[in-house]
């Protein structure tokens, strides 16, 4: 299913007018590994990839996956005091890259090649203004812009904002039920705990 997801994304974003697609899979099915494999395939030759995440942990998390999946590609981090923006793969904090001077430097032409792939981890956040600032700056919202891969376990936002403003399609989807039936995840075991005398009136 990981290979199928990678191939489905590349097929879905092959046309210049259709470059932004989501791969949605349950937690535990290694979306990060799939993202690294897609980056390796989409950036063959001298291509570059930008991986966007909204927390410190998620920015560093792909390093191990890239070391195993695409060891030839040197990774750099753009986050707070880290500014390794010219590497083959850039792992960037949304909070840092939304700052105009940091985004401008990361996108500097003539010093580093433009990005061929942008990965948005936790893609359901992409409708937020901070993500849109970055995607607009990258030219990712224009026809013929870089491919944009969204990785998420859910394609719904709590605030009800439409993800269709950013994403053009869902390239690949696998449900928790399917993953369990195929043996990729263990069956869920639900436990109900009864608490006596619990007062939630002030919560």
Taking the CA of residue 136 as centre, how many other CA atoms within 13 Å lie in the half-sphere pointing to its CB?
Answer: 10
Quote the pLDDT of residue 35.
97
| Predicted pLDDT at 51 | 95
- Cα–Cα distance measured from residue 48 to residue 57, given in angstroms and rounded to the nearest whole number: 22
Q: Determine whether 91 is exposed, middle or buried from the number of CB atoms within 10 Å of its CB (0-12, 13-18, 19+).
A: buried
Q: What is the pLDDT of residue 112?
A: 64
Residue 111, pLDDT > 60, answer no
Q: Rounded to an integer, what distance in angstroms lies between the CA atom of residue 203 and that of residue 191?
A: 23
What is the pTM (predicted TM-score) of this model? Answer: 0.88
The DSSP line for 59-79 is: HHTHHHHHHHH-TTSPEEEEE
Work out the number of other CB atoms within 10 angstroms of the CB of residue 170. 17
User: At residue 67, does pLDDT exceed 90?
Assistant: yes
Closest by CA to 131, choosing from 77, 85, 89, 95, is 95
Residues 141-199: tens digit of each pLDDT: 998 899 999 999 988 655 556 678 889 999 999 999 999 999 999 998 999 998 888 88
Across 52-67, average pLDDT: 86
């Amino acid at each position: 299913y990981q290979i199928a997801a990678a191939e489905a994304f590349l097929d879905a974003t092959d046309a210049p007018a259709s470059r932004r697609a989501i791969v949605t899979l349950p937690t535990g099915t290694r979306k990060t590994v799939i993202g690294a494999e897609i980056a390796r395939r989409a950036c063959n030759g001298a291509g570059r990839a930008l991986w966007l995440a909204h927390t410190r942990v998620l920015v560093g998390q792909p390093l191990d996956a890239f070391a195993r999946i695409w060891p030839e590609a040197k990774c750099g981090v753009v986050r707070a005091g880290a500014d390794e923006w010219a590497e083959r793969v850039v792992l960037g904090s949304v909070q840092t890259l939304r700052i105009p001077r940091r985004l401008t430097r990361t996108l500097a032409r003539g010093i580093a090649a433009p990005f061929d792939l942008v990965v948005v981890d936790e893609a359901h956040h992409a409708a937020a203004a901070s993500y849109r600032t970055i995607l607009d700056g990258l030219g990712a919202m224009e026809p013929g812009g870089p491919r944009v891969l969204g990785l998420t376990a859910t394609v719904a936002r709590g605030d009800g904002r439409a993800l269709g403003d950013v994403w053009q399609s869902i390239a690949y989807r696998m449900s928790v039920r399917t993953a369990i039936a195929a043996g990729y995840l263990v069956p869920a075991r639900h436990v109900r705990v009864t608490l006596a005398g619990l007062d939630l009136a002030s919560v």
